[in-house]
């Protein structure tokens, strides 16, 4: 065999090996399907921040929300508390509805934010939990920029309408199962913590 024929054979073998490898790699590529996007429950939460959860809202197909306590506010406005849930991360999330049963639009939202002036305007940042047995008061949690872990953006509530809200607090000790929820301008309400 001449040198020229040996070079042709070796070159052809190299091309054949490259073609086989290319086909093998293409076969491992997933068949051209798009990668599955993570669902909401699979999306990882950022560590070090308290997760904010939306206030419950009644959908068209669901029944009315359970009311665990009510508190009277100004001008026919009523606070209905739907849940107070302790989670494994050491937080208690209180959620409910602010209902306007009066005849006029409720727009005096400012006092609900408590002493908050800048980071969380038009919010329920003034809410608190009081552990009467442990003699401690728990305020709404804040993120690193001072924003409350609570509902923000409340402007007004028209007559006959309601606005959902939530507020998240540090959890009292596990032995504390009953606390008093307070929101400025509303009467205090005793609630049981679940979870």
Helix (H), strand (E), coil (C) string for the chain: CCHHHHHHHHHHHHHHHHHHHHHHHHHCCCCCCCCCCCCCCCCCCCCCCCCCCCCCCCCCCCCCCCCCEEEECHHHEEEEEEEEEECCCCEEEEEEEEEECCCCCECCCHHHHCCCCCCCCCCCCCCEEEECCCCEEEECCECCCCCECECCCCCCECCCCEEEEEEEEECCCCCCCEEEEECCCCCCEEEECEC
Is position 94 within any domain? yes
- What is the domain count for the chain? 2
pLDDT value, residue 179: 98
Is position 180 within any domain? yes
pLDDT value, residue 124: 94
Is position 47 within any domain? no
Is position 165 within any domain? yes
Residues 97 and 3 in one domain: no
Is position 53 within any domain? no
CATH of the domain at 151: 2.60.40.10
pLDDT value, residue 122: 86
pLDDT value, residue 149: 94
pLDDT value, residue 121: 77
Is position 61 within any domain? no
Residues 17 and 74 in one domain: no
pLDDT in tens, the chain (195 residues): 555 554 444 555 544 444 544 444 444 444 444 434 444 333 333 334 444 443 433 334 456 789 999 999 999 999 999 999 999 999 999 999 999 999 999 998 889 988 766 677 789 999 999 999 999 999 999 999 889 999 999 989 999 999 999 999 999 999 999 999 999 999 999 999 998
Is position 100 within any domain? yes
Is position 62 within any domain? no
pLDDT value, residue 141: 95
* Domain limits for position 1: 1-28
């Amino acid at each position: 065999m001449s040198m020229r024929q040996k070079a042709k054979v070796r070159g052809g073998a190299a091309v054949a090996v490259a073609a086989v490898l290319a086909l093998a790699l293409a076969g491992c590529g997933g068949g051209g399907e798009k990668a599955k996007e993570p669902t909401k429950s699979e999306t990882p939460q950022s560590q070090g921040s308290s997760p904010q959860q939306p206030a419950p809202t009644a959908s068209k197909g669901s029944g009315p929300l359970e009311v665990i306590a009510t508190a009277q506010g100004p001008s026919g406005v009523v606070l209905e508390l739907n849940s107070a849930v302790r989670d494994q991360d050491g937080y208690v999330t209180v959620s409910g509805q602010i209902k306007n049963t009066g005849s006029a639009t409720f727009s005096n939202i400012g006092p609900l934010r408590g002493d908050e002036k800048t980071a969380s305007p038009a919010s329920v940042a003034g809410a608190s939990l009081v552990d009467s047995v442990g003699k401690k008061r728990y305020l709404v949690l804040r993120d690193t920029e001072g924003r409350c872990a609570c509902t923000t953006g409340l402007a007004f509530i028209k007559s006959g309408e309601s606005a959902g809200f939530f507020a998240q607090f540090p959890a009292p000790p596990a032995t504390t199962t009953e606390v008093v929820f307070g929101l400025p301008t509303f009467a205090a309400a005793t609630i049981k913590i679940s979870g």
